[in-house]
Amino acid sequence: MAHIHLGEGSFPLWALIVWTTLGVALVGAVVYRVRKGGIKTHQIALAGIGAAASFAIFQLNIPVWGGIHMNLTGLVGILAGPLLGALIALVVNIFSAALGHGAVGLLGANTLVNASEAIVAYYAFKTLMRMDWDVFPASASAATLGLSAGAFLMGAIIVISGVNGSALPRGDLTIAVAGLVGLNLGVAVIEGILTGFIVQFLASVRPDLVGLADRDSQEEPTGVTA
């Protein structure tokens, strides 16, 4: 959903170094956690499907205010988990940049943005389910929250970095970016609702895919009632 569509050389060198370093650090931490803790077989399959779906919808760009699109990172985070979700964000951004959708130099920044969406959506979904929310509102709210976090992070990265060659003062740039963030927040609600329907359907046919198998077994009656 949130994605920095600026071209190569748009950010100053110091900003590229900072965001790339943070992106590498995040991916390194994720890979370390994956190698240390391992991943379940069904998560690998979900990660593959999620990466393909995310990459496909990623390319459907609406040329409004620099470009907006859905990317299903909230759904990916809920299904594949925060670790694989972050890796999927990296992979999708690499292949998208190879097609000219996003600058190669901004891979670090865009990975941070999209990985944050998956991570926040996952933990928000788990938290809401522990609070006994129903699947649809929990997944829709979690995805919207994750995508909103990514939108705000995207805006912050652009404003902090500044844009090379832009004639806009920092204050005007902030206003312009705020409009872009607001537009992305609107798309986040739409994508959140879509995610809610998808997760609700999966929960009805395969609750184990969304981590609800234990919850369903706990809700089944275990004794004889009068």
Is the model's pLDDT at 199 over the cut of 70? yes
How do the domains of the chain map onto residue ranges? 13-210
177, 155 in Cβ contact below 8 A?
yes
Give the separation between CA 99 and CA 55, rounded to whole angstroms: 11
User: What residues contact 58, with CB distance under 8 A and at least 6 apart?
Assistant: 3, 69, 70, 71, 92, 96, 101
The per-residue pLDDT for 66 is: 61
142, 211 in Cβ contact below 8 A?
no
pTM (two decimals): 0.87
CA 7 from centroid of its chain's CA atoms: 21
The per-residue pLDDT for 223 is: 43
Give the separation between CA 151 and CA 149, rounded to whole angstroms: 5
Region at 132 (left for phi over 0; alpha for psi -120 to 50; beta for the rest): left
Give the separation between CA 170 and CA 173, rounded to whole angstroms: 5
The per-residue pLDDT for 225 is: 41
The per-residue pLDDT for 213 is: 63
Helix (H, G, I), strand (E, B) or coil at 208: helix
62, 99, 100, 173 from 187: Cα distances, Å: 11, 23, 22, 21
Given pLDDT bands bounded at 50, 70 and 90, which one contains residue 45?
Answer: confident
Give the separation between CA 114 and CA 88, rounded to whole angstroms: 9
DSSP state of 106: G
User: Among candidates 129, 116, 60, 56, which has minimal Cα distance to 85?
Assistant: 116
Q: Which residues pair with 68 in a beta bridge?
A: 62
- Assign a CATH topology to domain 13-210: Arp2/3 complex 21 kDa subunit ARPC3 (1.10.1760)
50, 75 in Cβ contact below 8 A?
yes
120-129, 181-190, 199-208: which has the highest mean pLDDT? 120-129
Burial class, 173, CB count within 10 angstroms (exposed 0-12 / middle 13-18 / buried 19+): middle
**What average pLDDT does the structure give for the chain?**
86
The per-residue pLDDT for 32 is: 94
